[in-house]
Amino acid sequence: MSGTELAPFGAHEYLLALSRALSRNLDLGTVLHIVLEEAVVLLQADAGFVALRLPRTNMRVVATTGLPLETARAFEPLLNSIPQHSETADDTPPWWKQPALQRALLRIARRQQLPFTHIIAMPLEVDGDVIGALIAFRSSERAFTRYEERLLSGFADQASIAIRNAMLVRQLVQERERLAAVLANSADGVALINAERRIELINPALARLSGWNLDDVVGQPFEHVLRLENEAGVRLPAPAPHSDLVRQEGYLIRRNGTRGPYVSVVYTPLAQGRGMVASVHDLSERRALEASQRAFIAGISHELKTPLAIIIGYAETLLRDDVQWDEATWREGLHVILDEAQHLTRLVDNLLDAARLEAGGLQLHLEPVQLDEWLPRVLSEFARAHPSHHFDIALDGAAFPPVMADTGRLRQVVHNLLSNAVKYAPADTRVSLRLTYDDARGELIFCVSDEGPGIPLEEQERIFRRFHRVEGEASRTEGAGLGLYMARAIVEAHGGRIWVESEPNRGATFCVALPAADDNAPKRTIRIRPIDTTE
CA dist 486 and 406 (Å) reads: 14
Q: Is residue 382 near ligand ADP by the rule CB under 6 A?
A: no
| Backbone angles phi and psi of 424, in degrees to 5 | -95, -25
Q: Of 463, 490, 513, 531, which lies in the binding site for ligand ADP, with binding defined by CB under 6 A?
A: 463
Q: Of 483, 491, 517, 528, which lies in the binding site for ligand ADP, with binding defined by CB under 6 A?
A: 483
Q: Of 424, 444, 446, 493, which lies in the binding site for ligand ADP, with binding defined by CB under 6 A?
A: 424
Q: Is residue 533 near ligand ADP by the rule CB under 6 A?
A: no
Describe the chain by its helix, strand, coil percentages, rounded to 5: 45, 25, 30
What minimum distance in Å lies between the beta carbon of 453 and ligand ADP? 6
Q: What is the DSSP string of 191-243?
A: EEE-TTSBEEEE-HHHHHHH---TTTTTTSBHHHHSEEE-TT-PBPPPPPTT-
Q: Of 62, 311, 455, 514, which lies in the binding site for ligand ADP, with binding defined by CB under 6 A?
A: 455
Q: Is residue 116 near ligand ADP by the rule CB under 6 A?
A: no
Q: Is residue 446 near ligand ADP by the rule CB under 6 A?
A: no
Residues 6+ apart with CB under 8 A from 369: 402, 403, 404, 405, 407, 410
Q: Is residue 479 near ligand ADP by the rule CB under 6 A?
A: yes
Q: What is the DSSP string of 421-472?
A: HHHHSPTT-EEEEEEEEETTTTEEEEEEE--S----GGGTTGGGSTT---TT
Contacts 24+ apart (CB under 8 A), 350-357: 350/480, 350/482, 350/483, 350/486, 351/300, 351/480, 351/482, 353/482, 353/486, 354/466, 354/482, 354/485, 354/486, 357/486, 357/489, 357/528, 357/530
Residue range at the interface with ligand ADP (CB under 6 A); choices 138-146, 267-275, 427-435, 446-454: 446-454
Residues within window 18-77 making contact with ligand ADP, judged by CB under 6 A: none
Q: Is residue 450 near ligand ADP by the rule CB under 6 A?
A: yes
What minimum distance in Å lies between the beta carbon of 390 and ligand ADP? 15
What minimum distance in Å lies between the beta carbon of 445 and ligand ADP? 17
Q: Of 199, 265, 493, 508, which lies in the binding site for ligand ADP, with binding defined by CB under 6 A?
A: 508
CA dist 119 and 102 (Å) reads: 7
Q: Of 469, 491, 513, 517, which lies in the binding site for ligand ADP, with binding defined by CB under 6 A?
A: 469
Residue range at the interface with ligand ADP (CB under 6 A); choices 54-62, 315-323, 426-434, 481-489: 481-489
Q: Of 82, 354, 470, 513, which lies in the binding site for ligand ADP, with binding defined by CB under 6 A?
A: 470
Q: Of 35, 109, 228, 421, which lies in the binding site for ligand ADP, with binding defined by CB under 6 A?
A: 421
Interface ranges with ligand ADP (CB under 6 A): 416, 420-421, 424, 450, 452-453, 455, 463, 468-470, 474, 479-485, 508
